[in-house]
Structure 1
Amino acid sequence: MTVDPLATNLNEKFRIYVQAYNPGELEAFADLLWQLNAKSILVVGHSNTTSQLVNLLIKQQKYKDLDDSVYNKIFIIRLKGKKITDEIIEY
């Protein structure tokens, strides 16, 4: 099971920008996401890089690494002015 079907569906249905990332360049990818000036960012996947990317985006060490068996989390980061909020949806 991968997030590809979800990403494809979101892209086709809502024209949402979907981008895979190099796990070795998380800081650069977080910077790229900030430059998009998006109102919301979804981070979907599994493994330790998912929570690490979210932590970079929210600028705090809030989330621990995900276990390799965890595939049911969608992280949502919302940006309103300079305020950053985050939440997790489990499916």
Structure 2
Amino acid sequence: MRILIALFIVSFSWVGSAQNSQQPTTTTYFFIRHAEKDLSNPKDHNPKLTEAGKIRSKNWAKILEDTPIDYVYTTDYIRTKKTAAPIAKSKGLEMKIYNPKKLNDIDFQQNTIGKTTVVVGHSNTTPTFVNKIIGKNKYNSIDETIYGKLFIVKITGEVITDTVLIIN
């Protein structure tokens, strides 16, 4: 009986210490602006991608090829969905639509915690989204001629790191 109690206490202590020694969860975000859009019709507020944009969207999928991705979020515009589609397809994922007027809302935070997520947005919403997540007003809108910025945000416990790469 004493042996059983001792084994129970040792087992319980081991489980408790294993739970206490767990590493904090890491959440990773890859933020990109949509690829090159067709500017031939200034009245078109929902343009398609140009040929260069189609190539860039395929290249984003190649760049992230060896990265496990849990979610792909995009705004509900042709240019963002077409940019996100090759990434989602390569990972066998459905794209999730987010509202660019509700960046980093509680649903988004809860859904992506501990996950790796790609977020495709716009020249103004992408840096704003990153700023909301990092809790600083660090990044400005992306120049209209720049399509190759990749913002990487990692959150591990209370530590938040952010990096920007230019990929052309």
Whether these two folds match at TM > 0.5 is yes
Structure 1 Cα separation of the partners of residues 94 and 133 of structure 2:
17
Instruction: Evaluate the alpha carbon distance shift between residue 15 and residue 33 of structure 1 in structure 2; reply closer, same or farther with a 3 A threshold.
Output: farther
Is the CA contact (8 Å cut-off) linking 1:55 and 1:62 kept in structure 2? Answer: yes
Q: 1:26 to 1:32 in 2, by over 3 A?
A: same
Gaps of 5+ in 2: 1-52, 54-78
- Structure 1, unaligned stretches of length 5 or more? none
8 Å CA contact retained: 2:83, 2:120: no
1:24 corresponds to: 101
| In 1, Cα distance between equivalents of 2:154 and 2:94 | 15
TM-score with structure 2 setting the length: 0.44
What value does the CA root-mean-square deviation take over the aligned residues?
A: 2.4
Q: Report if the CA contact (8 A) 1:76-1:86 is conserved.
A: yes
Q: Which has the higher contact order (CA 8 A, sep 6+)?
A: 2
Number of residue pairs matched? Answer: 89
1:53 aligns with 2:129: yes
Q: Secondary structure at the match of 1:19?
A: strand
Bigger radius of gyration among the two: 2
| Residue 13 of structure 1, aligned match among 90, 98, 101 | 90
Aligned to 1:74, which of 147, 150, 157?
Answer: 150
Q: 1:60 to 1:18 in 2, by over 3 A?
A: farther
Find 1:35's aligned residue among 110, 113, 126: 110
| Residue 49 of structure 1: how far off its partner (Å) | 1.2
